[in-house]
């Protein structure tokens, strides 16, 4: 009897999820910079994380988490180094809140439009979820709050419509 109880206790405590199982239930917030200049990012919950510089054609990511003090997380981005700590520097804020098996997300600006003129898009890896798109780098009117399953990755991309060099098709001689 003691052996059976110990064996049951041992197998029950070993039923810990594997890394793969944890990853399948919790997605990531990903920020990708396709702009020609760096983006400066801080992950903010109950406290401010260290500054991260995202260079051209680079990305930053963090696994969704819930902050014990504030609940949600705000990824605050500026085009200015140390901009989070300077007065009136425009910020774009990618906010998320992990709520069980759901992830609530939003995109907003404060102190102006930090990335005006550059396309800004949040695209979920789960294609049944809604994207947030700012074609001109500034928020459209109305609420931007969306919800998705917490296993989906949310990719915020800057400058996805970078201009290519101008070109025109070649014409045959004598044609107009």
Does residue 47 sit within a domain? yes
Give the number of other Cβ atoms within 10 Å of residue 77's Cβ: 26
Of 65, 63, 58, 22, give the one whose Cα is nearest residue 39: 58
Total structural domains within the chain: 1
- pLDDT in 10s for each residue of the chain, 176 residues: 444 443 443 333 344 343 444 444 689 999 999 999 999 999 999 999 999 999 999 999 999 999 999 899 999 999 999 999 999 999 999 999 999 999 999 999 999 999 999 999 999 999 999 999 999 999 987 778 999 999 999 999 999 865 444 434 444 445 44
Does residue 74 sit within a domain? yes
pTM above 0.85, yes or no: no
Of 88, 78, 19, give the one whose Cα is nearest residue 44: 78
Does residue 98 sit within a domain? yes
Question: How many whole angstroms separate alpha carbon 166 and alpha carbon 107?
Answer: 32
- What CATH number should be reported for the domain holding residue 59? 2.60.110.10
- Which structural domain, as residue segments, surrounds residue 35? 26-158
Does residue 13 sit within a domain? no
Of 58, 93, 55, give the one whose Cα is nearest residue 73: 93
Residue carrying the six token digits 């999820």: 17
Does residue 34 sit within a domain? yes
């Amino acid at each position: 009897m003691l052996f059976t109880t110990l064996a049951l206790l041992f197998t029950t405590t070993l039923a810990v999820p594997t890394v793969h199982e944890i990853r399948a239930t919790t997605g990531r917030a990903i920020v990708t910079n396709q702009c020609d200049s760096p983006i400066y990012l801080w992950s903010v919950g109950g406290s401010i994380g260290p500054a991260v510089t995202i260079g051209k054609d680079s990305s930053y990511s963090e696994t969704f988490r819930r902050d014990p003090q504030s609940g949600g997380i705000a990824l605050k981005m500026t085009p200015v180094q140390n901009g989070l700590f300077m007065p009136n520097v425009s910020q774009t804020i990618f906010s998320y809140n992990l709520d069980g098996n759901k992830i609530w997300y939003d995109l907003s600006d404060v102190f102006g439009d930090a990335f005006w003129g550059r396309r800004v898009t949040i695209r979920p890896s789960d294609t049944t979820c809604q994207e947030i798109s700012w074609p001109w780098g500034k928020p459209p009117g109305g609420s931007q709050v969306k919800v998705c399953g917490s296993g989906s990755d949310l990719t915020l991309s800057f400058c996805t419509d970078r201009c290519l060099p101008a070109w025109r098709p070649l014409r045959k001689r004598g044609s107009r």
